[in-house]
Amino acid sequence: QVQLVESGGGLVQAGGSLRLSCAASGRSFSNSAMGWFRQAPGKEREFVAAISWNGAVSQYADSGKGRFTISRDNAKNTVYLQMNSLKPEDTAVYYCAVNTYGSMRSERGYGYWGQGTQVTVSS
């Protein structure tokens, strides 16, 4: 049974940092791109960042460029999202997912999803 478990969310003041982790179990995803998405209250889920299977390519939404860094450790079957200089508008539930088809930026390309972790940034 495939399972993705996010951790590292929480409450942080604006300007602070958080590091999200997503541990996969049930199978290895070392050959798959992985991504992070987020969903704020009342809004649709949106792309945040993605990383290719070997870490050579990463992509970011404009909202996180220069502040967020995605990385992965295939030996641990884990992907990370380092978030710096957090803003109140970064408040959302953050989801990690495994890309199974197509564009790394498109939600439709992801076949496995975690349950999400809440990130709240206070002003």
User: From residue 89, how far is each of 13, 15, 17, 25, 73 by CA, in Å?
Assistant: 12, 12, 14, 31, 28
Locate tokens 């860094």: which residue?
A: 69
> Could you give the dihedral angle defined by the CA atoms of residues 31, 33, 39 and 45, in that order, rounded to the nearest 10 degrees?
-110
Q: Which residue has the higher pLDDT, 23 or 2?
A: 23
CA geometry: angle at 111 spanning 75 and 32, to 5°?
30
Instruction: Look at residue 28 and tell me whether its pLDDT is greater than 90.
Output: no
Query: What pLDDT score was predicted for residue 69?
Result: 98
Percentage of residues in the chain having pLDDT higher than 70? 100
Query: What pLDDT score was predicted for residue 27?
Result: 85
* Positive/negative CA dihedral, 92, 6, 37, 68: positive
Query: What pLDDT score was predicted for residue 71?
Result: 98
Query: What pLDDT score was predicted for residue 47?
Result: 98
Query: What pLDDT score was predicted for residue 120?
Result: 98
Query: What pLDDT score was predicted for residue 2?
Result: 86
Query: What pLDDT score was predicted for residue 122?
Result: 98
Locate tokens 């710096």: which residue?
A: 84
Number of H helices, E strands in the chain: 0, 11
Q: For residue range 41-88, what is the model confidence (pLDDT) as tens digits? A: 999 999 999 999 999 999 999 999 999 999 999 999 999 999 999 999
Q: What is the mean pLDDT of the chain?
A: 96
